[in-house]
Structure 1
C-alpha cells in the first residue's frame, strides 16, 4: 500500500462552510474503509491535508475527486505520492 498527500487548497470559503458536513462524512467513510490515514485543516484557513492509502496515484486521484469539496468547487487539490517514515505501524 502506498500513501498520497492531498493538499486541499481553499477556493471558495462559503462553499467550504456549506459543504463541510458532507466533506467530513466522506472522510469518516474513507477512514472506516482504511483509505484515509489522517486528515486535518490548516489553522491559517488555507485549506487542509488528507493522507490517502491507495495502490496507485490513479486510485488516489479517484478518491480525491469523490470528495464533496472537489465536486462543488469549494477546494482545489494537489496530490503527491508520499514516502511515509514513522516509528508507528499504520497498517
Structure 2
C-alpha cells in the first residue's frame, strides 16, 4: 500500500456542522479498514489533512471523492500527494 497525504481547504465552513457527522463516520470507517492513518483540521480552521493508504493514486482519489465533505462541497482546493514515509518505517 502507498501513503497519500490530502491537504484541503474549507470552501463552505457554514456547511461544516451539517455534514460533520457523516464525514467523521466515513473517515472513521476508512480508519477501521486501514485506509486512513489519521486526519484532522488545522487549528486555525482554514482546512486540514487526511493521510490515506491506497494501492495507487486513482484508488486514493476514489476514497477522497466519496467523502461527504467533498460531495457536499464543504472542502475544496484538494491536493493529494504520494508521501514517502521515513519514520516510522514499515520494515
Fold-level similarity (TM above 0.5): yes
Aligned pairs for 1:1-91 within 5 A: 1-76=1-76, 77-87=78-88, 89=90
Question: Number of residue pairs matched?
Answer: 90
**Matched residue of 1:20: which SS?**
helix
- For residues 79 and 16 of structure 1, the distance between their equivalents in structure 2, rounded to whole angstroms, comes to 21
Report the aligned-residue RMSD. 1.4
**CA deviation string 1:20-71 (max 9, x = no partner):** 1111000110001100011111000111100000010000000000100000
Tell me, which stretches of 5 or more residues in structure 2 are unaligned?
none
Cα distance change of structure 1 residues 40 and 88 upon mapping to structure 2, 3 Å threshold: farther
Aligned partners of 2:52 and 2:73: how far apart in 1?
20
- Please identify runs of 4+ aligned residues in structure 1 that moved more than 6 A: none
CA distance in structure 2 between the aligned counterparts of 1:52 and 1:58, rounded to whole angstroms: 12
In the superposition, the TM-score normalised over structure 1's length comes to 0.92
Q: Tell me, which stretches of 5 or more residues in structure 1 are unaligned?
A: none
